[in-house]
């Protein structure tokens, strides 16, 4: 199989796809992969250029040895496993570092990987690719030489997508429903399957009493800002609905303080694009037009817009904008959340609430949605548990002897 | 319905801000209340904002609707059975167009306003008219698309009408010559969309080294400069092209939108777009929607007393512009005059929702046109 001339090889440069397709799997969390990622992590953290790319630094910090060890320890894979073979990753177009996390998941599961990087020439992609390329050319990493192919090709080159899809054992698709639909036009081999990350909806809940009495308000505002404005409220993990738990007077007090604290940060840091200002305003008005009793509350300027909804009803996940539009509602008990939750719900972030209570809500309700329950401020942290999948498990295969007593093979 | 007789009686550009401001504010405030009472979604939108009419002391205090809401919600202040016309804008493929519902009265008011505005730049009320388009554009009468509707609207000025282009969008020179012979000596109205006039009249004539004798014509064109700007054709180049190929020296750009037809802004002899007596323009900073200063760029808000069957009397467009002055244009017309800078760009957002499917999420590139 010859390389299609439209495919650009970012790392390793000058390589062939065919070698990747034939590379043999490793065990999950293999020493070779851990060593390679450890060096990649260090190289990126020590590279001056990562100073101006906080998402690259965050990635490097995430894949440092202690972190990877903790991941393995937290969720050991008890059965004997090997990678499934070749994973074809489609990275999302506008989260520059996502491709690297996906690649790690594929490697940690024991696979060889072809990763299609975003079409845009992000500095983050260039930097990580440079180090991946450099490290893979070192003799000590020769065993992994064919386990990474970082490529870029035109989005609409359906023939290339088809070719890579036909080779892989798992196709990991990031980027939302439209991307998934487009990529799925390319068939997979009989045993191969898709692992898709579709459009998701996220929300948060804050306990008013605890907010007033215990919570560090400044830190929480910072955390919420990072969860939302940092990515224009456009990440799948960003909350669009803010639920306040408590009695009316304490909720009133709490939310006034909360939005004020957030607005301090927004004032200093956030730049709103004119189109986004109109989008939010239109969206809020549209909601109001269809829901009698809704109230639109603007902050000091167009950067913070809130819509107080008259009732919490199913379908709220269809109402969302970005760049700082928050739907808001007071609940008296967590039980009010369950009826609105469906498959699209991904992240439930929280503050001033006991996390076990939230878990209880999901299990007692046997809910079809909510895959992550994390404190406000931590929604953007990548985890090998994503969208309900444990990636190292999903991307590896079990070699079963029927009795289930085989120990995993070391090395 | 409100009596607009006073507005039709006032000279189209005759009122200065002292005379116009309070009267316009009062009329628009009445209209706001009218629509709030007769259009439930509109009423809810005002209520949600906590709008209090008692707080309105000037035009800028009036609430405004983003134009895109007309694509998303059916907004009308009349019973359905009184709708005589539904106007639509041209949306990009995949996007729902705006739906504007007119009753007989509003439609009549729009036409009357348009007549007065256009007559102010032409010499007569009805003239032989050349439409720079092909007859195919008005064939679908069931739903008025922007270009077709604009042509039909302006055709009220036509004593006789010729479509300048054949079905291949080429100038039909034989037909044009015959038409000009037939109406020799008469002033002619030439109407067309800006890019049509350039692309399908000026350019072909220039390429073939041919000319038309239209020195006695007035050209009224609209639709925006986006396409021509992409080809580096400025208003000056455009006018020069018209002069050299057709001898036309009276050229008037206009700015309007399907959501607010009739009270279009017309270009004066000095190249400035003037709001007519029926309407006004406010520029707002996108940052907080505050009113921008003179010469400061921002979002164009258009106000008009004509939209009576639907709540389109105060609209925030997605166009950027500047107010150049008020009451003091050297052309002698009173009222505000302004410049349109173009559509605000699409937002470049971070985050994980992708922009797959044909490369980009549908861009809001609706052509701003006058349609009647």
More confidently predicted of B363 and A121? A121
Closest Cα in chain B, distance from residue A208 (Å): 25
Per-residue pLDDT reduced to its tens digit, B126-165:
899 999 998 887 775 543 466 777 787 788 889 999 999 9
In this structure, what are the phi and psi dihedrals at residue A392, rounded to the nearest 5 degrees? Answer: -60, -35
What does the pLDDT average to over B246-271?
Answer: 93
**CB distance A274–B286 less than 8 Å?**
yes
pLDDT of the residue at B369: 22
C-alpha torsion A267→A271→A272→A273, nearest 10: 160
Which 91-110 residues of chain A touch chain B by CB within 8 A?
92-95, 98
More confidently predicted of B148 and A85? A85
Beta-carbon count within 10 A of A245 CB: 25
Closest Cα in chain A, distance from residue B215 (Å): 43
pLDDT of the residue at B142: 43
pLDDT of the residue at A48: 95
Cα–Cα distances in Å, from A342 out to A180, A331, B351? 19, 18, 22
- Separation CA A50–CA B363 (nearest Å): 34
What does the pLDDT average to over A235-244?
Answer: 95
Per-residue pLDDT reduced to its tens digit, A57-71:
999 999 999 999 999
Which 158-177 residues of chain A touch chain B by CB within 8 A?
174-176
**CB distance A302–B72 less than 8 Å?**
no
User: Angle CA(A181)–CA(A185)–CA(A188) in degrees, nearest 5?
Assistant: 115
pLDDT of the residue at B367: 23
Q: Tell me how many residue pairs between chain A and chain B have CB atoms under 8 A apart.
A: 147
In this structure, what are the phi and psi dihedrals at residue B166, rounded to the nearest 5 degrees? Answer: -85, -175
Query: Could you write out the three-class secondary structure of chain A?
Result: CCCCCCCEEEECCCCCHHHHHHCCCCCCCCHHHHHHHHHHHHHHHHCHHHHHCHHHHHHHHHCCHHHHHHHHHHCCCCCCEEECCEEEEECCCCCCCHHHHHHHHHHHCCCEEEEECCCCCCHHHHHHHHHHHHHHCCHHHHHHCCCEEEEECCCCCHHHHHHHHHHCCEEEECCCHHHHHHHCCCCCCCCCEEEECCCCEEEEEEEHHHHHHCCCHHHHHHHHHHHCHHHCCCCCCCEEEEEEECCHHHHHHHHHHHHHHHHHHHHHHCCCCHHHHHHHHHHHHHHHHHCCCCEEEECCCCCCEEEECCCCCCCHHHCCCCCCEEEEEEECCHHHCHHHCCCCEEEEEEECCCHHHHHHHHHHCCCCCCCEEEECCCCCCCCCEECCEEHHHHCEEECCCCCCCCCCCCC
Per-residue pLDDT reduced to its tens digit, A344-365:
999 999 999 999 999 999 999 9
Closest Cα in chain A, distance from residue B299 (Å): 8
What does the pLDDT average to over A256-262?
Answer: 98
Given a cut of 70, is residue B352 above it in pLDDT? no
pLDDT bracket for residue B371 (50, 70, 90)? very low
Given a cut of 70, is residue A84 above it in pLDDT? yes
**CB distance A289–B286 less than 8 Å?**
no
Cβ pair A137, A12 in contact under 8 A: yes
Burial class (CB in 10 A: 0-12, 13-18, 19+), B69: buried
pLDDT of the residue at B136: 81
pLDDT of the residue at B27: 96
Cβ pair A349, A264 in contact under 8 A: no
Average per-residue pLDDT in chain B? 88
Q: Which residues in chain A are closer than 8 Å to B352, comparing Cβ atoms?
A: 92, 94-95, 98, 174-176, 197, 231, 234-236
- Which residue, B355, B276, B143, is CA-closest to A182? B355
Is A318 at the interface with chain B, CB within 8 A?
no
Is B138 at the interface with chain A, CB within 8 A?
no
CA A4 to chain centre: 30
Tokens read off for A73: 């320890």
Cβ pair B305, B7 in contact under 8 A: yes
Is B108 at the interface with chain A, CB within 8 A?
no
- Separation CA A394–CA B3 (nearest Å): 71
pLDDT of the residue at B92: 52
pLDDT of the residue at B353: 52
Beta-carbon count within 10 A of A222 CB: 16
CA B154 to chain centre: 12
pLDDT of the residue at B363: 26
What does the pLDDT average to over A95-100?
Answer: 92
- Pick the range with the lowest mean pLDDT from A138-142, B116-120, B128-132: B116-120
In this structure, what are the phi and psi dihedrals at residue A351, rounded to the nearest 5 degrees? Answer: -150, 145
pLDDT bracket for residue B49 (50, 70, 90)? very high
pLDDT of the residue at B155: 86
What does the pLDDT average to over A103-123?
Answer: 96
What does the pLDDT average to over B41-70?
Answer: 97
3-state secondary structure of B75: coil
End-to-end CA, chain B: 20
pLDDT of the residue at B8: 92
Tokens read off for A84: 């499934």
- β-pair partners for B193: B222
Per-residue pLDDT reduced to its tens digit, A166-213:
999 999 999 889 999 999 999 999 999 999 999 999 999 999 999 999
Using CA coordinates, name the residue in chain B closest to A180.
B356
Per-residue pLDDT reduced to its tens digit, A203-220:
999 999 999 999 999 999
CA A119 to chain centre: 19
Cβ pair B192, B132 in contact under 8 A: yes
Among A98, A156, A286, select the one facing B352 at the smallest CB separation.
A98
Q: Which residues in chain A are closer than 8 Å to B347, comparing Cβ atoms?
A: 232, 273-276, 279, 323
pLDDT of the residue at B274: 97
Cα–Cα distances in Å, from A93 out to A119, A240, B276, B336, B355? 7, 22, 47, 45, 7
In this structure, what are the phi and psi dihedrals at residue B111, rounded to the nearest 5 degrees? Answer: -65, -40
Burial class (CB in 10 A: 0-12, 13-18, 19+), A111: buried
Strand ranges in chain B using DSSP code E only, listed in sequence order: 65-66, 85-88, 99-102, 127-131, 158-163, 188-193, 217-222, 250-257, 260-267, 273-274, 279-284, 298-304, 314-326, 336-343
What does the pLDDT average to over B245-269?
Answer: 93
Among B48, B316, B344, select the one facing A295 at the smallest CB separation.
B48
Cβ pair A286, B72 in contact under 8 A: yes
- Pick the range with the lowest mean pLDDT from A72-76, A205-209, B65-69, B89-93: B89-93
Cα–Cα distances in Å, from A191 out to A166, A213, A227, A389, B8? 11, 55, 38, 19, 75
Average per-residue pLDDT in chain A? 94
């Amino acid at each position: 199989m010859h390389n299609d001339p439209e495919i650009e090889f970012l790392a390793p440069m000058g390589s062939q796809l065919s070698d990747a397709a034939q590379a043999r799997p490793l065990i999950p969390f293999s020493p070779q992969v851990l060593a390679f990622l450890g060096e990649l992590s260090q190289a990126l953290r020590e590279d001056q250029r990562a100073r101006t790319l906080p998402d690259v630094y965050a990635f490097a910090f995430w894949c440092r040895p202690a972190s990877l060890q903790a991941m393995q320890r937290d969720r050991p894979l008890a059965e004997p496993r090997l990678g499934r073979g070749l994973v074809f990753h489609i990275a999302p177009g506008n989260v520059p570092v996502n491709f690297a996390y996906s690649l790690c998941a594929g490697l940690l599961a024991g696979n060889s990987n072809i990763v299609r990087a975003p079409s845009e020439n992000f500095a983050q992609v260039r930097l990580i690719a440079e180090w991946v390329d450099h490290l893979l050319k070192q003799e000590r990493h020769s065993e992994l030489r064919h386990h990474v192919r970082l490529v870029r090709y035109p989005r609409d080159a359906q023939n290339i997508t088809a070719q890579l899809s036909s080779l892989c054992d798992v196709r990991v698709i990031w980027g939302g429903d439209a991307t998934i639909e487009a990529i799925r036009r390319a068939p997979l081999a009989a045993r191969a399957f898709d692992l898709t990350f579709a459009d998701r909806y996220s929300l948060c809940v804050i306990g008013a009493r605890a907010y007033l009495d215990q919570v560090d308000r400044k830190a929480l505002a910072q955390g919420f800002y990072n969860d939302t404005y940092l990515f224009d409220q456009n990440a799948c993990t960003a909350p669009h609905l803010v639920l306040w738990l408590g009695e009316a007077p304490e909720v009133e007090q709490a939310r006034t303080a909360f939005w004020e604290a957030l607005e301090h940060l927004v004032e200093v840091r956030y730049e709103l694009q004119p189109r986004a200002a109109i989008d939010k305003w239109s969206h809020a008005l549209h909601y109001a037009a269809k829901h009698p009793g809704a109230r639109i509350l603007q902050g000091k300027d167009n950067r913070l817009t809130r819509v107080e909804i008259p009732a919490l009803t199913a379908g709220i996940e269809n109402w969302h904008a970005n760049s700082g539009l928050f739907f808001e509602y007071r609940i008296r008990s967590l039980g009010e959340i369950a009826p609105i939750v469906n498959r699209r719900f991904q992240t439930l972030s929280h503050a001033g609430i006991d996390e076990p209570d939230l878990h209880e809500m999901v299990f007692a309700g046997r809910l079809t949605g909510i895959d992550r329950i994390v404190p406000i401020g931590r929604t953007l942290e990548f985890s090998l548990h994503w969208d309900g999948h444990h990636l190292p498990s999903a991307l590896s295969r079990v070699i079963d002897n029927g009795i289930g007593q085989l120990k995993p093979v070391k090395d | 319905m409100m009596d607009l007789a006073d507005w039709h009686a006032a000279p189209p550009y005759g009122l200065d801000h002292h005379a116009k401001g309070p009267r316009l504010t009062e009329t628009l405030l009445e209209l706001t209340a009218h629509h709030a009472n007769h259009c439930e979604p509109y009423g809810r939108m005002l209520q949600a904002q906590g709008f209090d009419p008692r707080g309105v002391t000037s035009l800028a205090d009036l609430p405004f609707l983003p134009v895109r809401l007309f694509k998303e919600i059916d907004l009308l202040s009349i019973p359905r059975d009184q709708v005589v016309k539904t106007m639509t804008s041209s949306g990009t493929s995949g996007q729902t167009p705006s739906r504007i519902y007119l009753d007989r009265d509003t439609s009549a008011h729009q036409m009357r306003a348009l007549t007065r505005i256009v007559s102010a730049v032409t010499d007569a009320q009805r003239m032989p008219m050349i439409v720079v388009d092909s007859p195919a554009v008005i064939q679908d009468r069931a739903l008025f698309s922007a270009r077709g509707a604009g042509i039909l609207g302006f055709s009220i000025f036509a004593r006789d009408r010729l479509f300048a282009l054949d079905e291949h969008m080429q100038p039909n020179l034989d037909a044009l010559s015959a038409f000009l012979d037939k109406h020799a000596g008469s002033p002619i109205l030439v109407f067309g969309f800006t890019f049509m006039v350039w692309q399908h009249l000026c350019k072909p004539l220039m390429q073939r080294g041919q000319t038309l004798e239209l020195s006695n014509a007035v050209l009224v064109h609209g639709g925006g400069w986006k396409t021509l700007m992409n080809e580096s054709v400025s208003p000056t180049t455009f006018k020069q092209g018209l002069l050299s190929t057709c001898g036309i020296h009276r050229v008037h750009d206009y700015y309007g939108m399907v959501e607010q037809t009739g009270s279009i802004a017309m270009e004066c002899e000095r190249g400035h777009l003037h709001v007519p007596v029926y309407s006004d323009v406010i520029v707002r900073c996108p940052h907080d929607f505050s009113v921008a200063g003179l010469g400061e760029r921002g979002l164009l808000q258009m106000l008009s007393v004509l939209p009576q069957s639907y709540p389109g009397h105060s609209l925030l467009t997605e166009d950027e512009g500047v107010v150049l002055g008020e009451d003091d244009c050297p052309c002698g017309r009173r009222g505000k005059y302004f410049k349109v800078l173009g559509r605000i760009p699409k937002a470049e957002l971070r985050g994980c929702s992708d922009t797959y499917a044909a490369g980009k999420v549908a861009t809001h590139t609706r052509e701003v046109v006058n349609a009647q």
